[in-house]
Amino acid sequence: MSNAILTVKDLVIEYPRAGKPPFRAVKGVSFEVKPNEFFGIVGESGCGKSTLAKALCGLLPITSGEAAFHALPAHAVQMVFQDATGSLNPRMTIGQTLTEVLAVYDLCPKAQRSEMVATLLEEVGLPAEVALAYPRELSGGQCQRISIARALAMNPRVIIADEPVSALDVSVQARVLNLLAQLRKRRNLTILLISHDLAVVRTVCDRLIVMNAGEIVEHGDAKAVFARPQHPYTQHLLAAVPDIAEAY
């Protein structure tokens, strides 16, 4: 594959430990993500998903191997986290938070900032009045939409979403996932969706990797993986997924 937007090759990530050898959280993973793909990274708690995500956007040093986004300008890779409410400044209104991003990164002329805030809110399905609210006045789903809007303000090419819906009720999860799917199309984004929940990944992803204890145990087209999981670990994960298709 030569048209990849992200190439990860033999990637190893270790955490140093005092008086002990380092802990190897990611043990030599390789995969590629293509432009405009909705790519899933799945696995149980502690398998190394967040470690991988942080390394991909430069928040953690790489021990060895390679993780490279191809031909992307600065700020083109944005992250969205699980704890949306906690990631917003409680003392600032939503409008102030979004305006600050626009101002700090000089993303639009000053006179257009409030209009841009309204546009961003509309893009994530929220009314313009939300600009006047504080994070505590909003639901978890609304806060997650705000953190998506904050990422969009940066004009990203790639969004890495680490458990973006795991703190939300199932019905709200579906709506936030639908929003990500719409944004992918509308903005021609590449999305990496990280989840411990196969049901979440199943609804939106084109391709996925399944991780177990820092290694990739399954890799492929999402439909094929769900129809015919090859690895016992994937079969085990799938068996644990309740049939919640009707919720979506």
Ligand X SMILES: Nc1ncnc2c1ncn2[C@@H]1O[C@H](COP(=O)(O)OP(=O)(O)OP(=O)(O)O)[C@@H](O)[C@H]1O
Instruction: Evaluate whether 190 touches 3 at the Cβ level (below 8 Å).
Output: no
Q: Where are the alpha helices (DSSP H) in 43-86?
A: 49-56
Q: Does 82 bind Mg ion (CB under 5 A)?
A: no
Among the listed residues 37, 39, 51, 149, the single contact to ligand X using CB under 6 A: 51
Instruction: Please answer whether residues 103 and 116 qualify as being in contact, where contact means their C-beta atoms are separated by less than 8 angstroms.
Output: no
> Of 34, 196, 219, 231, which lies in the binding site for ligand X, with binding defined by CB under 6 A?
196
For the bound state, the minimum distance from the C-beta of residue 190 to ligand X, rounded and expressed in Å, comes to 20
Give, to the nearest 10 degrees, the angle between helix 140-153 and helix 170-187. Answer: 20
- Would you say 23 or 105 has its CB closer to ligand X? 23
How many CB atoms sit inside 10 A of residue 248's CB? 16
Out of 29, 37, 49, 130, the residue judged to bind ligand X by CB under 6 A: 49
How many Cα atoms occupy the beta-carbon half-sphere of 40 within 13 Å? Answer: 28
Judged by CB under 6 A, does residue 61 bind ligand X? no
Stretch that binds ligand X, among 47-55, 151-159, 217-225, 230-238 (CB under 6 A): 47-55
Residue 105 binds ligand X, judged by CB under 6 A: no
Cα distances (angstroms) measured from residue 220 to each of 105, 114, 202, 223: 37, 43, 12, 9
At residue 137, φ and ψ (nearest 5 deg) are -85, 0
Taking the complex as a whole, the smallest distance from the CB of residue 25 to ligand X amounts, in Å, to: 4
Q: Tell whether residue 25 is a contact of ligand X (CB under 6 A).
A: yes
Structure tokens at 112: 């257009």
Is 48 a residue that touches ligand X (CB under 6 A)? yes
Residue 74's CB is within 10 A of a number of other CB atoms, namely 7
Q: Which of residues 11-50 bind Mg ion (CB under 5 A)?
A: 50
Residues forming contacts to Mg ion in the complex (CB under 5 A) are 50
Residues at the contact surface with ligand X, assessed by CB under 6 A:
15, 23, 25, 43, 45-51, 196
